[in-house]
Amino acid sequence: MRSVLLVFLALFAPLGAQAQFKGYFDVSALRVAGLNEADWGRKQDGERVRYLCTNLERCPIPTAIEIKGVNRAEALPAAFENGALAPDRLKADGEANAVRTGARFLSAALITIAGRKGVHMEASADLNGAIFFVTRWIGEGGRMLDVKVTARDLGLARELADTATQSLVPQVFDAK
């Protein structure tokens, strides 16, 4: 699992994006609706929440969802549209990082989830078979929801990213 995390961090850690990092906001109360609780273990780990799939027939190891709340110095969603978090810049950084790690950066695109703008990224690596990484950053003001999914199947990774972001975006940005 450690090697999966190292590849993941190398692919999705553009230097320009790191410069605007200010800290984390609490995500401990967030819950992903739509996940069968019997199939998923939920763990609070510092500033992040991790869901690990325990139903190996549905989702073989290392299927997981990681959720963080990130405070940013720049205005969101403007940074997704034409700043350090714009898809073309993320793609260039991701491809450069992928070359160093022997992975593949697949795509970066603007998305809108529950009326909030963000960016969707995909990458893959070969670690005893293909592993896919799907990341969604959704933001407003200086707050960004960071959802990362790891799975052996790209379709499953996309499905889980969609389930998680559809559930979490209203909890983060519509909460009173």
pLDDT tens across 106-131, in order?
999 999 999 999 999 999 999 889 99
Q: Tens of pLDDT along 94-112?
A: 999 888 888 999 999 999 9
- Strand (E) or helix (H) holding 142: strand 130-151
Q: Which of 13-27, 47-61, 149-163 has the highest mean pLDDT?
A: 149-163
End-to-end CA distance of the chain: 37
Average pLDDT across the chain, whole number: 89
Predicted local distance difference test score (pLDDT) of residue 175 = 74
- Check whether 8 has a pLDDT greater than 50: no
Peptide bond connecting 77 to the previous residue in cis, omega within 30 degrees of 0: yes
Top-level CATH class of 2-173? Answer: alpha beta
Confidence of residue 17 (pLDDT cuts 50, 70, 90): low
Whole-angstrom Cα distance, residue 44 to residue 129?
28
Rounded to two decimals, what is the model's pTM? 0.89
Confidence of residue 5 (pLDDT cuts 50, 70, 90): very low
Q: Which of 45-59, 96-110, 130-144 has the highest mean pLDDT?
A: 130-144
Bridge partners (DSSP) of residue 133 are: 123, 150
Query: Which of 51-60, 128-137, 152-161 comes out lowest in average pLDDT?
Result: 51-60
Predicted local distance difference test score (pLDDT) of residue 33 = 93
Stretch 76-105: mean pLDDT:
92
Whole-angstrom Cα distance, residue 61 to residue 31?
21
